[in-house]
Amino acid sequence: MMLFTPFTLPNGTLIKNRIAKAAMEENLADENNLPSNELFNLYGAWAEGGSGLIISGNVMIDKRAMTGPAGVVLDSEKQLEKFKIWAKIGKSNGAQFWLQINHPGRQMPASLGQKTFAPSAIEMDLGKLSKHFGVPYEMTEADIQDVLSRFVQTAKLAQQAGFDGVEIHAAHGYLLSQFLSPKTNQRQDKWGGDLANRARLLIEVVKQVRAKVGPSFAVAVKLNSADFQRGGFTTEDAKQVVKWLNDLNVDLVELSGGSYEAPVMQGQSRDGQSLAREAYFLEFAKQIRLVANMPLMVTGGIKRKPVADHVLESNIDLVGLATALALEPNLPNKWQQGDMVTPNLPNITWKNKVMASLANMARVKYQLNQLSKLRAVQPNVHPLWALIKQQLRDRQRAKLYRKVMGENRRNNQ
């Protein structure tokens, strides 16, 4: 397979090449958590850059449940006009444009002042940083049904807005991933226990989303190839979940790994033994390829064209690029034209892997912010400076978020 060979999804949709702009959390929503002009600028750059598939950063299914204060939310028909603009921009150069839809579960900052839900009342284990996340409440049956209906509603609204598909986020330690992991799901009812029960919510979300949007709209799943935590979700678990997804008309499974507690998706791991193996998640993807009937996509650290080619040669269908496209949004066009540029951020060598992960994410968001303002990227920005700026901005936006949510509560009383 060649990187610039078109690819047809199971639903019949043609993707113009094998490069996907994978999701990165931008935190560029306006004060009402809707797509902003800055977000339009950013996705305009990616659309012009030549990727065959563009997947948005987190779009939340519930404004009360956020991964960050400036995240995008789609939970009402009243919001569709700005999403229609966003969809049109992302598709302007022939790319397919999907929304990644998500619920954070316990991975919601305490600074947002919202009640935190999770499968079980198990708090985050981040050492001194744990205080930044509240102790979650164990979800009731009504809470689970509400989340299920919200995933379905957001998918349908995405279709109405003109997007080509949705990616259901069940990785990186967010809510659906929390249900999958025995480390975070210790329930004794039909939603916990063995893997079939722990996967029940994901399976129900996929089934009901597919039933709601019909066969032509793309439905994808982002799944951890493993959690990389002892007692967590394993590669064998992932293989079994993929076997169940085989029967649900899923158009793509994107494989990644890790969580806030084990941020291997940032190229770091608490388990030094697995670090070399999971840098690109490819070895795990090869195992899952043995059981997957649907197309597979691998994301995680890919920045050189020879590596992207190797992924395709390993019987993977699409290559997900993230940080590389934050540094060079025109990368697919450059590669196609023979320019073998390799976008890169300097390594962070901090001993605290969680802090290093936060700083790395802050550096990436710094580049996204630059692009959103039509400015040049700054790969050599100091990670500590980027982290401080991001924290100050998050603090300001969290204050605004709490104010807006408080006004909404008073208006609804």
For the chain, 413 residues long, give each residue's pLDDT as a single digit of tens: 589 999 999 999 999 999 999 999 999 999 999 999 999 999 999 999 999 999 999 999 999 999 999 999 999 999 999 999 999 999 999 999 999 999 999 999 999 999 999 999 999 887 877 788 889 999 999 999 999 999 999 999 999 999 999 999 999 899 999 999 999 999 999 999 999 999 999 999 999 999 999 999 999 999 988 666 666 788 899 999 999 999 999 999 999 876 665 554 544 433 333 333 323 578 888 999 999 999 999 988 889 998 899 899 999 999 999 999 999 999 999 999 999 999 989 989 898 877 888 899 999 999 999 999 999 999 999 999 999 999 999 999 999 999 999 888 888 76
Q: Which of 109, 22, 100 is CA-nearest to residue 61?
A: 100
- Identity of residue 367: Q
What does DSSP say about strands 53-60 and 96-102: parallel, antiparallel, or unpaired?
Answer: parallel
Query: Which letter does DSSP use for residue 294 in this model?
Result: S
Residue with tokens 């025995």, as numbered in its chain: 182
What does DSSP say about strands 96-102 and 19-21: parallel, antiparallel, or unpaired?
Answer: unpaired
For residue 269, count CB atoms less than 10 angstroms from its CB and return exposed for 0-12, middle for 13-18, buried for 19 or more. Answer: buried
Residue with tokens 């990165």, as numbered in its chain: 24
Do residues 264 and 278 make contact, with C-beta atoms less than 8 angstroms apart?
A: yes
Query: Which letter does DSSP use for residue 225 in this model?
Result: S
- In whole angstroms, give the CA distance from residue 9 to residue 15: 8
- In whole angstroms, give the CA distance from residue 220 to residue 60: 16
- In whole angstroms, give the CA distance from residue 175 to residue 143: 12
φ and ψ of 28, to 5 deg: -125, 25
- Note the maximum CA span of the chain: 61
User: Would you list the DSSP string of 3-14?
Assistant: TTS-EE-TTSPE
pTM: 0.94
What fold is seen in the domain 7-344?
TIM Barrel (3.20.20)
